[in-house]
Chain A
Amino acid sequence: MEKKNQKKFDIMDYFSAIRIAAALLLSLLIVFVIILFVSEMPGVAIQKLMTGPLETKRSFFNVIVRGIPLVFTGLGLTLCLKSGIFNISSDASFYMGAVVATAIAISWPLPNIIHQFALIAAAAVVGGLISMLPVIVNKYTRVNPVVLAIMANSIFYYFGLSIISSFFLEKSGSWGSYKFPDDARLGTMIKGTSLHYGFVIVIVVTIFVIFLMNKTSFGYKVRVTGSNPAFAKTSGLRTSFIILMAQFIGGAIAGMGGAIEMVGVYKRFQWQTQTNYVWDGLLIYMLANGNPVFIPITAFFIAYLRVGAEIMSRSSDLDPEIVTFLQGIIILLVASQRFLYFLKKRHDQKLSLQQAEAEEGGAAA
């Protein structure tokens, strides 16, 4: 009995695994075809795209560095979306997290380690508070939280940009803030690569989110609220509070991500455009099927493709933007619930017919 059950669950997961794998393969195939049409040297291009990041140690660790902010946004979004609110204000939290980190790095001289800790914590709080805004404003105005979240992304981008421009801008040279002192930066983990200590933090945060969502009563309440808010409310859960807390934690993770990216990768604040990490985060969330365990895997996969595309563009006649095709097709296929749906439908139908016949047989016997 026990074993039979296990099998059924495996099949369900197996269905989503097949779907995602098929989506990946199909989109890769489409991109290969596009490359064949537009490139003079398709062989080199495809080879560099697929294996380029593995060629040198430096580019391999670049993949990890590129993946770190993606993991943060992916995990942050997991909490926000699992609570049932499509709150995609992670960009606002991420950008402001970086701004707050810059401000503290430059204006508060603190000893090493305490300095990094302070600026990441402050970024987390600010990111968390920003992430709560769409839900709060929605409560009083009934404006769709998705609209509010997208507005927040724009508003806080300009707000953060103006803070940097008015208080921390270095007047000489190219656009950018003053340099961060060394005791504010995260430092490299492995010499000769760009890998910084943010990698350790990302592992800790991932474990924290997996633990929070799957092992604690809070995570359970978030999942119930997201799954059926009316039921959660009738059952006496304080849904508004739970939703707000989930947004706060989700935003805090995104804010931390912004701070870590800033003091880990950059020497000064240089973001003159919107970061747009939230869309990557959504892609990762979907590919991971909403499961925090898979968020890092999918994030590093996307980062791998990005780095591969850059290497490809350096050694062939193609632009790295070719990966956006890839991402677009993956999102379309993974998000479309009907993609390969017939597989599941056929399986379900077969199963229930078998069950019915077994019951009839049993009744006859």
Chain B
Amino acid sequence: MGHLLEVKDVTKIYEGGVLANHNVNFTVDEGEIHALVGENGAGKSTLMKMLYGLEDVTSGHIYLNGEELKLSSSKEAIEHGIGMVHQHFMLVDSLTGAENMMLGLEKTSFITNRKRDIEITNEVAQKYNFEIDASRRVRDMSVGMKQKLEILKILYRSAKLIILDEPTAVLTPQETEELFERLLELKKRGMTMIFISHKLNEVKRISDRITVLKGGVTKGTYLTKDVTEEDISNLMVGREISFEYDKEEVKLGEEVLRVENLKYVDKFKIPKLSGVSFKVSRGEIVGVAGVEGNGQSEMISIITGNMVAIDGKVFLNGHDITRESITNIRKLGMSHVPEDRMLDGCAPEMSVQENLTVSNIDSFANKTGMIQKSKIKEFCKNQIVEFNVKTKDENQSIGSLSGGNIQKVIVAREFKANSDLLILNQPTRGVDVGAISFIHSKILEMRSDNKAILLVSADLNELISLSDRIIIMHKGKIAGILSNVPKVTEQELGLYMLGLKKQEGLG
């Protein structure tokens, strides 16, 4: 039987010599949901980008229906019936659902017909049983609805093969469940799907076959019913993962961070924070949960001094830092591991050494401002050993390291700054499992050292295993504060994150 898609010996080397895929082989049959699993950085997204014509293939072949496929743009991929739902939505926020639906289509007339566009969109949505509001602007849609719109866009372009790149990353458990039902329905209609995820329970639930990628190499394809989650996880990482830690008993110390009634409105006049108050004390990890876009990033930006709140106050060790500069906030005792590590966390072209010393460079300089190179070198060598950074030496440019090692460098820098408060924004996003458990152990070490830690994460498992308390945000408000953390389930967090459950009397 012929395969719909066959990937043969595909190798991809990025500029700068990063080897993302090395002789990758796998096939996809018509009408199946084929899961592609692997740790972050295993090369899943790169492979999909090549299938979708976004990246060129360094060597190897891709066959679609037995014919060799050579794509130079995503437009050609769409013409061949391949569609992709990206990890980050490719939608125009200020346009309506229907407008997004029609965007980029060649058959659209020069003058748009709103009414007809909405009709068509609703028709397509009904056909596939997707509920969306076509006349609503994308920025006012829920994440789940955006996701559905993305899939509809592809279906409307008559795709036969749909690539879903981590579609559930931003969804709540309930939204995920709904998405899966729709996907299974599509499968019944004869659609073929490639489903990328590293959430094994989801893969197990939805896929027919599984291909495992590790370090850019295919580890094999398996029938889903033949393998257990443990099997897959062993193939992915080579060992079992467990996020259960024995947490040391730490007595709560004095209060370090206090946030009072924070309010913020974005440039579209949409309220992002509507009165958030909480505090963090020494010796505790306070987790922040919430579906992306419910005010967490705004809150962190305000606390760390990157944005100014329209109302409310932030206190650090009793000092009002609401309008302080980042320089002063750091001096008062705050460290920050930013969400976007390549943009805010490091200077990719500079060396590991230079990236390790940026926030405390003055402590390595003598009175005349001259840098003491030997002192820096010693400090960096120690950090590289202590934080287990895999680099040739401290002079290698940080951009050439893997995501996990870059993150270790950033964590080393921020943890060694000797601050009272650590703000960790997605500290393990896109990091391999080995690095995750290492970073987790360091976070717990800081807790034992009596630091106050505020942890924002999209990984609910991580929040539950590390935090002492979890704050759940929904629509710019605190929907709940849970202190019985080890007993909290992901499902319970999901209910709060979706706004289905709410504690009264909070901010």
Contact = CB atoms under 8 A, between A and B. Distances in A.
Nearest to A227: B347
A56 interface: no
Contacts of A345: 15
Contacts of A218: 369
A348 B304 CA distance: 39
Interface stretch (A25-33, A61-69, A121-129, A235-243): A235-243
Contacts of A233: 306, 326, 344
Given A217-B362, A217-B364, A220-B371, A348 B346 contact: no
B351 to A, nearest CB: 10
Contacts of B216: 356
A280 B19 CA distance: 40
B393 A355 contact: no
B325 A1 contact: no
B31 interface: no
Contacts, number: 101
A2 interface: yes
B371 A352 contact: no
B354 interface: yes
Contacts of B347: 224, 227-228, 231-232
A48 interface: no
Contact of B358 (A1, A2, A9, A237): A237
Contact of B395 (A5, A220, A223, A232): A5
B370 A356 contact: no
Contacts of A2: 393
A268 interface: no
A348 B15 contact: yes
Interface string B190-222: 000000000000000000000000001000000
Contact of A224 (B326, B354, B396): B354
A143 to B, nearest CB: 21
Contacts of B338: 234
B349 to A, nearest CB: 5
Nearest to A357: B22
Contacts of B326: 233-234, 236
Interface string B326-359: 1101110000101000011111111000100111
Nearest to A221: B361
Tell me whether chain A's interface is mostly helix, strand or loop, or mixed: helix
A127 to B, nearest CB: 22
Contact of A238 (B58, B325, B369): B325
B505 interface: no
Contact of B343 (A8, A227, A231): A231
Contacts of A227: 347-350
Contacts of B17: 347-349, 351-352
Given A220-B354, A352-B17, A236 B371 contact: no
A54 interface: no
B452 to A, nearest CB: 18
A10 to B, nearest CB: 13
A9 B392 CA distance: 12
B104 interface: no
A212 to B, nearest CB: 9
B252 interface: no
B358 A235 contact: yes
A351 B306 CA distance: 40
Nearest to B350: A227
A237 B216 CA distance: 37
Contact of B19 (A223, A234, A236, A353): A353
Nearest to B337: A234
A349 B358 contact: no
Contact of B359 (A216, A236, A355): A236
Contacts of B18: 352
Contacts of A356: 19, 22, 216
A235 B337 CA distance: 9
Nearest to B357: A220
B369 A234 contact: no
B92 interface: no
B306 to A, nearest CB: 7
Contacts of A8: 392
A254 B283 CA distance: 54
A215 interface: yes
A355 B19 contact: yes
Contact of A234 (B58, B325, B345, B365): B345
List 6 tightest A-B contacts by C-beta distance, closest first: A348-B17, A236-B330, A228-B347, A227-B347, A217-B365, A352-B19
22 contacts: A1-B392, A5-B393, A217-B362, A223-B354, A224-B347, A224-B358, A227-B348, A228-B347, A233-B306, A234-B345, A235-B358, A236-B327, A236-B329, A236-B359, A237-B327, A237-B358, A237-B359, A349-B58, A351-B17, A352-B17, A352-B18, A356-B19
Interface of B: 13, 15-19, 22, 58, 216, 304, 306, 325-327, 329-331, 336, 338, 343-350, 354, 357-359, 361-362, 364-365, 368-371, 392-393, 395-396
